[in-house]
Amino acid sequence: MNAMFKALGLGAIVLGASLSGAAAVERGGILTYARQADSRLLDPVYNQGNVNIWVLSSMYDTLILPTDDGKGLKPGLATNWQVSKDGLTVTLHLRDDIKFSDGTPITAEDVRWSLERAANPEHGIWNFMLGSIDNVEARDEKTILLHLKHTDPAILPALSVFNAAIMPEKQYEATKGASDEDKAKTFAQHPVGSGPFVLTTWERGSSMKLARNPHYWAKGEDGKPLPYLDGINFEIIPDDATRILKLQSGEIDGAEMIPYARVNELKQDPAVDMELFPSTRVQYVTLNVRPKLEGEKNPLFDLKVRQALNYAANKQAIIQIVTHGVGKPMTSFMSSGTPMQTGTKPLYPYDLAKAKALLKDAGYPDGFETSIMVIAGNQDEIGIATTLQQMWSQLGVKLDIQQVDDGTRDTVYRNGTFHMRLSVWTDDIADPSEFASYALYPPTIGALHTGWSNDKATKLFEASQQELDPKKRLEEYAQMQKIFNTSGPTVPLYETPYAVALSKNLHGFNQIPLGNNIFRWAWLSR
């Protein structure tokens, strides 16, 4: 274990050095980072989306951490782990001398309690990722055993997801509240955490301040404990232009969610470090493929029609028009940053003649009328929809663009009465099973609520969920992707990175492909 720890330390040094370049790190300082929207509930288990998830990793550590490429795993609060031969038991060993932000030790009992709380099907909406856990055993002070109901190839990556964060049992349970969720709300106001930073003040809708956790376990490249920063101030600035202006005038050190239209301009700005961090974000059109819609025959039910729409959509043109060249074509329905993505070349290269022939074959030589739902005021979505409208008009397809708000769209989508909608996906876990279960496994959400199903894909997915041999699982995923990419209910458009603008003084910051903002290595030069 000692050797392992040294190896990790070395890894940390190499990584730290690679992120910061040749310069030696400087300690101290408060980093100000502008976010587009505020968090809502900073509880790992009950939170409901990215505004919370992307900062939770700064406040809570997991047993295992995702690697910076978002595809692999590295030690976190656990230094090493083994899966038993039958695949039904996972043994993890806790790191020595780990403490919560209030200085109390992180014990095996805290781990047992945290994981069982996260896996409880009554708690929140993320418990399914830990659904294979039957019970958790704290064998001794340093050893945790997960007893599984069935084999689960994604259990290790699942332990690196935000909801499997380690929290302090005693402090949490001492919080007032009638239910566990009530306690979570109260505890999240003044949390005691296991991550590199701890929340100090939060003015909702305006700012959130984090201070460094003096008890954090990881060491920096100078051999002293991380993080390098004294703290982080998150400022909420919803307007894109204002966020950028604040960065350019030096009032802040970083700004997230830069619109693609501004990326090239900011690359030219000598005061700004315009970063495009690799992501798992994919943008696609979701098609309702039920045989009938509103009592009439649905053209989108016909595979040839879907293929025609795919061939007639000029992805390169959309990438230029909407993302200003920042995006790249998709090679599978999953992002190229997702493990076991097997795509090699762009899907459905633009071919108008082929599209026309397919549509004629399908019995729609003169096209048909259909509609697409986009979020009102969302420039990306409106841009994509109008471009598609023009491209598909070449086939005689009349696309009616319906601008609605989120609530309206989600409801129509769930009812299964929509024709088309634009959709975005980002992975939360370094495993393909999350998106695959939503996209092609109907029991989860009816294959993106499209009514699509394929028996072979369903069987492959079920097998892959318990397959422990990585080679076989990869083969299953290759087949699933082939089926979905050639006959699925989507028009894949593009992948885009996370566009984040930083000041030249900020070093070592990273947003990993799963979206988590990693501040533990960040430092400010003066």
Report the interface residues with other proteins, using CB under 8 A. 40-41, 48-49, 125, 185, 203-206, 235-239, 241-242, 245-246, 248-249, 251, 405-408, 410-414, 423, 425, 438, 444-445, 448
Q: Which is nearer to other proteins, 127 or 151 (CB)?
A: 127
The answer to whether residues 371 and 399 touch, using CB atoms and an 8 Å cutoff, is yes
Angle between helices 442-449 and 433-440 (to 10 degrees): 70
Query: How far is the C-alpha of 29 from the C-alpha of 49, rounded, in Å?
Result: 29
The answer to whether residues 394 and 311 touch, using CB atoms and an 8 Å cutoff, is no
Q: Which is nearer to other proteins, 268 or 344 (CB)?
A: 268
Least Å distance, CB 77 to other proteins, is 27
39: closest CA among 183, 208, 264? 208
For 288-346, strand residue ranges (E) read: 292-293, 296-297
Query: How far is the C-alpha of 355 from the C-alpha of 70, rounded, in Å?
Result: 36
Helix/strand/coil for 122: coil
CA atoms within 13 A on the CB side of 35: 21
Least Å distance, CB 30 to other proteins, is 15
Q: Could you give the residue ranges of the DSSP H alpha helices within 364-511? A: 379-393, 406-415, 433-440, 442-449, 455-464, 470-487
The answer to whether residues 161 and 428 touch, using CB atoms and an 8 Å cutoff, is yes
Q: Which is nearer to other proteins, 40 or 304 (CB)?
A: 40
Q: Which is nearer to other proteins, 11 or 416 (CB)?
A: 416
Least Å distance, CB 412 to other proteins, is 7
Q: Which is nearer to other proteins, 342 or 505 (CB)?
A: 505
Rg, C-alpha atoms of the chain = 24
Q: Which amino acid is at 190?
A: H
Question: Residue 185: exposed, middle, or buried by beta-carbon count in 10 A (0-12, 13-18, 19+)?
Answer: middle
The answer to whether residues 262 and 286 touch, using CB atoms and an 8 Å cutoff, is no
Least Å distance, CB 34 to other proteins, is 8
Q: Which is nearer to other proteins, 75 or 515 (CB)?
A: 515
Least Å distance, CB 327 to other proteins, is 20
Q: Which amino acid is at 73?
A: L
Helix/strand/coil for 398: strand
Least Å distance, CB 48 to other proteins, is 5
Q: Which is nearer to other proteins, 8 or 245 (CB)?
A: 245
Least Å distance, CB 259 to other proteins, is 14
Q: Which is nearer to other proteins, 251 or 369 (CB)?
A: 251
Query: How far is the C-alpha of 252 from the C-alpha of 432, rounded, in Å?
Result: 36
Least Å distance, CB 246 to other proteins, is 5
Q: Which amino acid is at 164?
A: A
The answer to whether residues 26 and 228 touch, using CB atoms and an 8 Å cutoff, is yes
Question: How many Å separate Cα 522 from the centre of its chain?
Answer: 21
Least Å distance, CB 157 to other proteins, is 17
Q: Which is nearer to other proteins, 189 or 264 (CB)?
A: 189
Least Å distance, CB 18 to other proteins, is 34
Query: How far is the C-alpha of 173 from the C-alpha of 213, rounded, in Å?
Result: 21
Q: 276: part of which helix (H) or strand (E)?
A: strand 272-287
Q: Which is nearer to other proteins, 36 or 316 (CB)?
A: 36
Least Å distance, CB 160 to other proteins, is 19
Q: 181: part of which helix (H) or strand (E)?
A: helix 180-187
Least Å distance, CB 156 to other proteins, is 22
Cis peptide before 227 (omega within 30 of 0): yes
Q: Which is nearer to other proteins, 357 or 376 (CB)?
A: 376
Q: Which is nearer to other proteins, 214 or 238 (CB)?
A: 238
